[in-house]
Amino acid sequence: MSSMSTYLYEIISPILMIFGTAGSIINIIVFSQKNLRKNPCSIYFIAYNIVNFMYIYFSLLPQTMSSGYNIDYTTSSIVSCRLYFYAIFVLNALSSYYLILASIDRTFITSSNALTRQRSTCRLAYICIGIGTLFWILFHIHALIFTNIVQAGPNVKVCAPQRGTHNTFTTYYNIIEEITVISLMLIFGISYIKNIRNLGRIQVHTVSVSATRANQIHGSNSFSRKDRQWILMLLMETTIYAVCVGPFAFYLIYLQITLNEIKSTETLQLQNMIYNILIFTSAIPFCTGCYTNLIVSKTFRAEVKKIFSWIKIFNTR
Rounded CA separation 71/80 (Å): 14
SS3 of residue 225 by DSSP: helix
Three-state secondary structure along 48-92? Answer: HHHHHHHHHHHHHHHHHHHHHHCCCHHHCCHHHHHHHHHHHHHHH
Rounded CA separation 188/17 (Å): 30
**Distance between terminal CA atoms of the chain?**
54
pLDDT at 202: 53
Rounded CA separation 228/211 (Å): 24
Q: Which residues contact 196 (CB under 8 A, 6 or more apart)?
A: 110, 228, 231
Torsion of CA 89, 94, 100, 104, to 10 degrees: 150
Closest alpha carbon to 222 in 112, 305, 300, 316 = 112
Rounded CA separation 274/300 (Å): 36
List, for residues 11-35, the tens digit of each pLDDT value.
999 999 999 999 999 999 999 998 8
How many structural domains compose the chain? 1
At 312, which CATH number? 1.20.1070.10
List, for residues 226-265, the tens digit of each pLDDT value.
788 999 999 999 999 999 999 998 998 898 888 778 888 8
Average pLDDT, the chain: 88
pTM (whole model) above 0.85: yes
Closest alpha carbon to 140 in 177, 195, 183 = 177
* Domain coverage including residue 311: 2-316
Whether 244 and 16 have beta carbons less than 8 Å apart is answered as: no
Helix ranges, 210-264 (H): 211-221, 225-257
Confidence of residue 314 (pLDDT cuts 50, 70, 90): low
